[in-house]
Chain A
Amino acid sequence: AQSVAQPEDQVNVAEGNPLTVKCTYSVSGNPYLFWYVQYPNRGLQFLLKYITGDNLVKGSYGFEAEFNKSQTSFHLKKPSALVSDSALYFCAVRDLGSYIPTFGRGTSLIVHP
C-alpha cells in the first residue's frame, strides 16, 4: 500500500525568505514522487518529480525537492519565496507497479509581502 502525508495544512512565509513544504510517504517498493501546485480556480499543475538518480530534483518556477530515503521524505523547497508562490501544494506518490498516484491533503502556502 502507498500513502503520503503532508503534516502542515498551512505554511506562512515572508517574501524573500526560504520556504519548505513537507511531505512524507510510505510505499512497499521504490517510490515515484511528485509535487503539484494548484492556484485558485485552476487545475493542478506538475512542478517536479523524483524517479531515480540525484536526490535533489529541480523543477518549475525555481522550486526543488530533496528525496530522503532514510526519512521517507520529499520536502519541497525554494530559496526565496515570492508572493505569487501563494497556492495549494500537493505531494503525490506512486509505488512501483502502481498506475494510481496517491495524493496528500495539500498544504496552503501563503507568502506575505
Chain B
Amino acid sequence: DAGVIQSPRHEVTEMGQEVTLRCKPISGHDYLFWYRQTMMRGLELLIYFNNNVPIDDSGMPEDRFSAKMPNASFSTLKIQPSEPRDSAVYFCASSPTGEEGELFFGEGSRLTVL
C-alpha cells in the first residue's frame, strides 16, 4: 500500500490566490482527517470525514477554508483567498473504523503565502 498521498508537497503562492491541497487516503479507511501544523499552535484538527461525509468542521479557521470528499479515494482542502497567516504544513490522515485505530499520516503539504 502506498500510504496516504498528498499533493503538492510544497506550495508557494501570493496573498489572495486560491490554494487547493489534495489527499488520497488509504483504501478501506473510513475516516479522513485534515490537520494543520505550525510552530506556534502545534497540530490542529481542521475537519474530519466519515464515509465521505463531513462530521466536524469546527476547527476550520474561517469561511476562507473549505474541504470536500467527493468519493472514498479523494479529498481536497481549499483556501480562498489565501493569507500569509495560512502558512503552515497541512496534513491529511486516514484511519480505519473504530476508536482503536491509529492514524496514518501523509507527508504533508507545506504552504507558504507571501
Q: Which A residues are closer than 8 A to B by beta carbons?
A: 32, 34, 36, 41-46, 49, 51, 90, 92, 94-101, 103, 105-106
- With A32-B99, A49-B100 already in contact, the answer to whether A103 and B42 are too (CB < 8 A) is yes
For chain B, the bracket of interface size reads 20 to 34
> Is B48 on the interface with A (CB-CB < 8 A)?
yes
B94 smallest CB distance to A (angstroms): 11
Query: What are the residues of chain A within 8 A of B106 when measuring CB–CB?
Result: 43
Given A42-B108, A100-B48, 4 more contacts at CB 8 Å? A36-B105, A41-B110, A43-B93, A44-B91
- State whether B103 touches A46 (Cβ < 8 A): yes
A33 smallest CB distance to B (angstroms): 11
> Is B45 on the interface with A (CB-CB < 8 A)?
yes
> Is B43 on the interface with A (CB-CB < 8 A)?
yes
Cα A109 to Cα B94 in complex, Å, equals 26
Cα A105 to Cα B56 in complex, Å, equals 21
